[in-house]
Structure 1
Amino acid sequence: MQDLTVRGTKILLINPTDSDAVGNAVKMANQANIPVITLDRQATKGEVVSHIASDNVLGGKIAGDYIAKKAGEGAKVIELQGIAGTSAARERGEGFQQAVAAHKFNVLASQPADFDRTKGLNVMQNLLTAHPDVQAVFAQNDEMALGALRALQTAGKSDVMVVGFDGTPDGEKAVNDGKLAATIAQLPDQIGAKGVETADKVLKGEKVQAKYPVDLKLVVKQ
C-alpha cells in the first residue's frame, strides 16, 4: 500500500477480505489524497468515495421468502451467521429478519459459523441435537450451507431445506444436484464493471453515489 501511494496512483479500487484489516490501508490512501472505492465488503476505518456491493439486505429477504414459499408460514428455521461485524453478515441477517417477521418463522437458533464450511458442519451438528424438528436452514454463505448440508445428510435429515448465499461454483453445483434448495447468487462481473465505471467518473470530477447496490439472482434447480 505504501508503494502504491508513492507511485502516483490516481484512484484505488479495493475488494477487502477483512473489513477491519483494510482500514489502515484506506486511511493511508486518505492521507495521500488518493480516492478509494470499496467493492463487495466495506472498510470499517477511513473514508471511501463509494462502496459497490450486492444488495445483501434484499438477498437475505429473498432467501427467507423462498423458505416461506417451500416450507410454509411459521416454519421452524435455523440461521447460520457469518463473521460478526462484517457488513455482509450484518446486512444479510437484517434482510432475513425482515422475512422472519413477515412470515412469522419460529427461529430455533441463530449462531455464527464464520462463513466457514467446517464450522458450518460443527455448529449444525450441535444445533441438530437441540433442535431435531428444524424444517429449514438459512446460511449466510454457501460454505456454511454446504457444511450444514453435510451435517443433515449424516443425521439422515434429507427433508430439511438449506438455502445458501453467494452462488459459488460449489453452491450452484449442489443446487443443480438437488442437494441445496437454493443459493442467492452474487454477480461479481457487475460489481467489477460498476467499480470501473465509478472510478472513471471520480477521475473526471463527476459526482458519484456513496453506495451502489448490485442485483442478486435466486438460483434454484431447473
Structure 2
Amino acid sequence: MLEIKRKSLRKLFKRSLAVVTVLTMSLGVVACGNTDSGASKQKTIAFIPPSLVSPFYASSVEGAKAEATKEGYTLKVLAPQTEDDFNGLLKIVEDVVTQKVDGISICTTDNKTMAAVVKTANAAKIPVVVFNSLSPIEGADVYSYVGYDQKNAGAQAAEYLGTKLKGKQVNVGILEGLPGVFTDNRKGGFVDEAKKYSNIKIVATQPANWEREKGMNVATNMYQANKTINVFYGLSDEMAIGATQAFKSVGIKDGITIGIDGNPATMDSISKGETTATVYTSPKEIGTQSIVDCGKAIKGLKVQNKMHQIKTLVVDKSLVSKYIK
C-alpha cells in the first residue's frame, strides 16, 4: 500500500516539473520578445515651420503627418508664435537636439537663423531637411532642400498679369513679406519679369508681414495714396486675400489680386470670383516630400537630388475647380 502511494507521488512530481518547465520556457519567449521590440525603437522627426499662422504651413503639416504615419515615424510639430521670432525658433531646435530626435525638417524666412540652427543640428549629428526653400545655406550641412523656385514664382505672377491683361494698363501695388530671402526672391522675380511688359507699372511696394489683416490695411492705405492702383501682388496668399478685402472696402469691383501659395482658403476665394489668382506651390506635397527625405537621411541613404524642386503654376478661376478639396 505504501509502495503504491510512493509511485503516485513520483508521477505527480514529474507532472509538476513538466508544467514548471513549460511555464519557464513560455516566460523566456515573452522576455525575448520584449527585448526585441525595445531594440526597434520608433524614430522621431521634428517638423518645424516658422509659425503656424499661415494656412500654407497648416497644409505642409498635413502632408508631413500623413507621410510620418505611413512610414511609422513619431512626428513632433513645433513652431514659434510668429514668423519673425527667430530666437524662439533657435530655442526649439536646441530643445529637440537635447531630446535626441532622429531628424529635423525646418523652414525659416531668415537665412542667418537657418545657418545657425543647421549648425546646431550638425554638431549633434542629426540630419536636416530644409523645406519651402531652395536657397543654399552657406557653412552648414543640409541633407536636402524641398521647395519651389520662389523667384520663378514671382516671375510667373508678372507673366500672368502681362499676358492676361495685355492691352490694359496694369498699375501694381506690391505687398511684401518680412525682410529676408523669401521676400527678396518673390519680389525680385516679379520685378525682373515685369520689365518685359510695357503695360505693367509698379506704383508702390510696402511690407505687410505675410498677414491677411495687415495686407488689407496696407493695401487700403496704398490705394488711398495712389488711386491709379488696379492690381495688388501679394507675396503670399494671405496678403493677397487682404488686398481683395481692401478693394472691396473702398468699393472697387474690378480690382485684380494675385498671391503665392495655393492655400485652400485662396482657392475658395478664387472660385467665388473674389481673389483673382495664385501661384500654386503644392504646400502639402512639400510637407510630404520633406519627411520622405528625412526618412532617407535617417536610414543613411544618399539623396539623388539635393534640390528637390516642386513645380508651380498660376491658378485662376478657369483652373480652380481642379484644386478645390
Q: SS of the residue aligned with 1:144? A: helix
Aligned equivalent of 2:43: none
Aligned to 1:126: 221
What letter matches 2:145 in structure 1?
Answer: H
Which amino acid in structure 2 is aligned with residue 66 of structure 1? Answer: Y
Using the TM superposition, give the Cα deviation of residue 11 of structure 1 relative to its aligned residue in structure 2, in angstroms.
3.1
CA distance, structure 2, for counterparts of residue 69 and residue 34 of structure 1: 47
2:68 match: none
Give the match for residue 117 of structure 2.
25
1:35 and 2:127 aligned:
yes
Q: Which has the larger radius of gyration?
A: 2
**Which position in structure 1 is the counterpart of 2:175?**
80
Q: Distance in 1 between matches of 2:205 and 2:95?
A: 43
CA distance in 1, matches of 2:218, 2:137: 27
Contact 1:71/1:136, CA 8 A, preserved across alignment? no
How far did residue 188 of structure 1 move?
2.3
Structure 1 residue 2: Cα displacement: 4.2
1:95 maps onto 2:189 in alignment: yes
Whole-Å separation in 1 of the counterparts to 2:179 and 2:137:
13
The 5 A counterparts of 1:67-216 are 67-72=161-166, 75-85=170-180, 87-104=181-198, 105-202=200-297, 203-206=299-302, 208-216=304-312
Partner of 1:13: 105
Report the CA distance between 1:199 and its aligned residue.
3.4
* Secondary structure of the corresponding residue to residue 90 of structure 1: helix
Q: CA deviation at 1:175?
A: 0.4
Question: Would the aligned equivalents of 1:81 and 1:113 in 2 still touch at CA under 8 Å?
Answer: yes
1:27–1:152 distance in 2 versus 1, CA, 3 Å: same
Q: How many residues align?
A: 221
Q: Measure, in 1, the Cα distance between the counterparts of 2:308 and 2:102.
A: 21
Q: CA–CA distance in 1 between the matches of 2:295 and 2:282?
A: 21
How far is the alpha carbon of 1:144 from its aligned partner? Answer: 0.7
TM-score under structure 1 normalisation? 0.86
What runs of 5+ residues in structure 1 fail to find an aligned partner? none
Q: Answer with 73-82 or 143-152: which moved more.
A: 73-82
Call closer, same or farther: CA 1:108–1:33 in 2, change over 3 Å. same
SS at match of 1:59: helix
> Residues of 1 paired with 2:176 and 2:208: CA distance?
6
Report deviation, 1:176. Answer: 0.4
Q: Partners in 2 of 1:192 and 1:111 — Cα distance? A: 30
* Structure 1 residue 220, shift from structure 2 partner: 0.9
Instruction: State the alpha-carbon separation in 1 of the partners of residues 170 and 98 from structure 2.
Output: 56
- Secondary structure at the aligned position of 2:195 is classed as helix
Q: In structure 2, what is the equivalent of residue 221 of structure 1?
A: 317
Give 1:60's aligned residue. Answer: 154
SS class of match (1:171): helix
Amino-acid identity (%) = 27
Is this contact kept in 1: 2:261–2:283, CA < 8 A? Answer: no
Distance 1:120 1:192 in 2: 26
- Greater CA deviation, 45-54 or 129-138? 45-54
Determine helix, strand or coil for the equivalent of 1:151: helix
- Give 5+ residue unaligned stretches, structure 2: 1-92, 319-325
Amino acid at match of 1:36: V
Q: 1:7 to 1:82 in 2, by over 3 A?
A: closer
* Partner Cα separation in structure 1 for residue 284 and residue 242 of structure 2: 27
How far 1:148 sits from its partner (Å)?
Answer: 1.0
Report the Cα offset of residue 3 of structure 1. 5.1
Q: How large is the RMSD of aligned CA atoms in angstroms?
A: 2.5
Find the aligned partners of 1:173 and 1:164 in 2 and give their Cα distance.
14
The structure with the greater share of residues assigned to helix is: 2
2-structure distance, mates of 1:198, 1:45: 20
